[in-house]
Amino acid sequence: MPDPGPLLGRGRAADVYDIGGGRVLRRYRTDHDSTPEAEVMAHLATHGFPVPAVHDVDGRDIVMDRVDGSSQLDDLQRRPWHVSRHGRTLADLHRRLDQVPPPAGQQGRIVHLDLHPGNVLLTSGGPVLIDWSNARAGDAAEDVATTWMLLATARPDGGRLLQVLAALLRRRLLASFLAGVDVEAARTALPAVCERKAHDPNMRAEEVAAIRALRASAGR
C-alpha cells in the first residue's frame, strides 16, 4: 500500500502522515479497529478537552486535524528550565480529564494510560494530548500512577553524562507533577501499574529494573 503522504512520525504501533488540508492520517501497522479510539477523542472534544479533531475513521486509519507544535519532550531538550512548568501541565491535564463525564453507559472515568511529555503537544492555544490508543474506562488514580511510573523510570539512550542530566531533570519534572495530583491515591495504584508494565516485552532490562525498584519503594 503506497504512503498517503509525507511521513511525519513513527510511533510504537502506528505511523502519522501529512495528507494535506491541515489534516493527518494515523495508520496502525497491523490490523486494528480504530473506532473506539476515535469515539473517545470525539467525546472528549465535545467536552472541551484538548485533543485533535477527528474527521474520519476506517479500520486502522484515523484522519485528524494536524496539530502544529512541538512536544513537551522536545521542548525539555531545548529549554530544560521549563521542566517545572511541564510537570504542572501534566498534572493539570489529569485533573481536566477526570472532570470529563464518561460516555453514556460507561462505568468509571476516561483514562489515557500513556500521558507523558512525548504525547503532549505545545500549541499557541495550549497543550494538546495525543495518542489515545490505550484509552479506556478506568480509575483516575491508575492513570496518575501510570504517569508517575513513566516519569520516574524512563531511561533515554545516550552516554553517562546524558543519563545524569536526564535523571536530574526527571526528578524535577516528577516533583512538580506530583505536587498537583492526589499522591496518596496514586501511590495505592502504583504497585499494580508497575507490575503490569514490568511484563511489557517492549521494555528494556534497565527500565524493568527501575520499575521494580519503584514498585518496591511504593510498598514501603
For the chain, what percent of residues have pLDDT higher than 70? 93
Q: What is the mean pLDDT of residues 153-172?
A: 69
List, in order, residues 6 or more apart from 43 with CB less than 8 Å away.
100, 103, 110
Q: In which band, very low, low, confident or very high, does the pLDDT at 161 lie, cut at 50, 70 and 90?
A: very low
Give the number of C-alpha atoms closer than 13 A to the C-alpha of residue 188, restricted to the C-beta side: 6
Q: What mean pLDDT is reported for the chain? A: 90
The yes-or-no verdict on residue 158 having pLDDT over 60 is no
Q: What is the pLDDT of residue 164?
A: 52
Among candidate residues 192, 10, 205, 178, the one with its CA nearest the CA of residue 88: 178
- 167 vs 140, which has greater pLDDT? 140
| Entry pTM | 0.91
Q: Which residue has the cell 495530583?
A: 181
Q: What is the pLDDT of residue 156?
A: 63
Q: What is the pLDDT of residues 65-118, one digit of tens each?
A: 999 999 999 999 899 999 999 999 999 999 999 999 998 888 889 999 999 999
In this predicted structure, which of 65-79, 81-95, 134-148, 161-175 has the lowest mean pLDDT?
161-175
What integer is the mean pLDDT of 62-67? Answer: 96
Hunting for cell 483516575 — which residue is that?
Answer: 140
Q: Report residue 145 as a C-alpha cell.
A: 500512577
What the chain holds in terms of domains, given with CATH numbers, is 7-65 (3.30.200.20), 70-218 (3.90.1200.10)
pLDDT for residue 51 is more than 60: yes
Please report which confidence band the pLDDT of residue 191 belongs to, taking 50, 70 and 90 as the band edges. very high
